[in-house]
Structures are given as structure tokens and as C-alpha cells.
Amino acid sequence: MDKINIISRFLKENVPVYFSNNLLFEKEETEKGLNICFSTKKRTRRICFRFIEKKVTGEEINLFLINIQKFPFKTANDSMFLDEYLKKMKVINEENFSLNNFNGEFENRLKSFFQYLHEIIDNYAADVLFGDKWENMPINWDPYK
């Protein structure tokens, strides 16, 4: 099974735990990677996962950009990258969410990453994801270029 299908299946099975009713699922494959988003209007939030594969000095890098948006999405201030928010809260130091930071074959790294992500969201970002809190975050696009 290719990585795109593995990720799609994995996200469908694991992310809905954060959203209770009226779950909307969107999937888009692009030349730069895969975008998968989940949203509910009841919670007034949308979370998007962009999976990117790239080669850096001969090494394959697999990473996720995770974006949270609030509805109605009107300006850039209605969107934040999860890692930037967590860095501001002094929870993480990493520039991005790289699967290369986890051991094993691709599916095992994916599973470990999402266990890590669930823990981080549960402890530090659930209030943002569930619509109880919002912080306007300046967007630093340099790590994502």
C-alpha cells in the first residue's frame, strides 16, 4: 500500500476522535503532497494535515504541516500552524512534525507520530481545537518553503 493510502486510512481512523458530530472529511492530492482536512461547524474549527515528502541531501524527509483554522475563515489571523502555536507555548522546539524523528517502518513511524500528536493536543491544544480559545499567531513561512 502506498504512503498516501496509508495516511488517508490512518487519519480517517484516528483523527475523528477529536470531533464528535457532523464530521466533514476532505482529501486532496497535489504535486507537493497530500492534504487531508477534518472539520465541524458545531465546533467552529477545521484541522488540516499536509503530508510532504522531499529529499534533502539524499535523505527522504517525511513531514506533516498541521494547520488549525477557525470558522468563518476570513483572514490569515483565522489560521495557525500547530507547531508554531506549541513553540510559542514553549511545548516543543522542533521546526516541524517530521516522521523521521520516529523509529521503524513507515506505518510504525506514522503510528508513533500520531500517538505523540494526540498527547500534545490533549495536553496543550485541545482548547484551541475545540473552539474554547484562539490566539492570533504570526505566520513564519520560512520552514515551510
Helices 3-14 and 106-120: angle between axes, nearest 10 degrees: 30
pLDDT, tens digit only, all 145 positions of the chain = 588 888 888 877 776 565 555 567 778 887 777 888 887 666 678 888 888 888 777 777 788 888 888 887 888 889 998 988 998 888 887 656 888 888 999 889 988 888 888 888 889 988 888 788 898 877 666 655 5
If one counts every other C-beta atom within 10 angstroms of the C-beta of residue 122, the result is 12
Whole-model pTM: value is: 0.81
Asked if 121 and 129 touch (Cβ cutoff 8 Å), the reply is: yes
For the segment 87-101, what is each residue's pLDDT rounded down to a tens digit?
Answer: 888 888 765 688 888
- As to burial, measured by CB atoms within 10 angstroms (0-12 exposed, 13-18 middle, 19+ buried), residue 32 is exposed
Are residues 21 and 108 in contact, defined by beta-carbon separation less than 8 angstroms?
Answer: no
As a whole number of angstroms, the distance between CA 69 and CA 72 comes to 9
Torsion 119-23-45-75 (CA) sign: positive
Q: In the chain, what are the domain boundaries?
A: 3-136
What local confidence, expressed as pLDDT, does residue 19 receive?
A: 57
3-state secondary structure of 5: helix
Task: Label the pairing between strands 79-81 and 59-70.
Answer: antiparallel
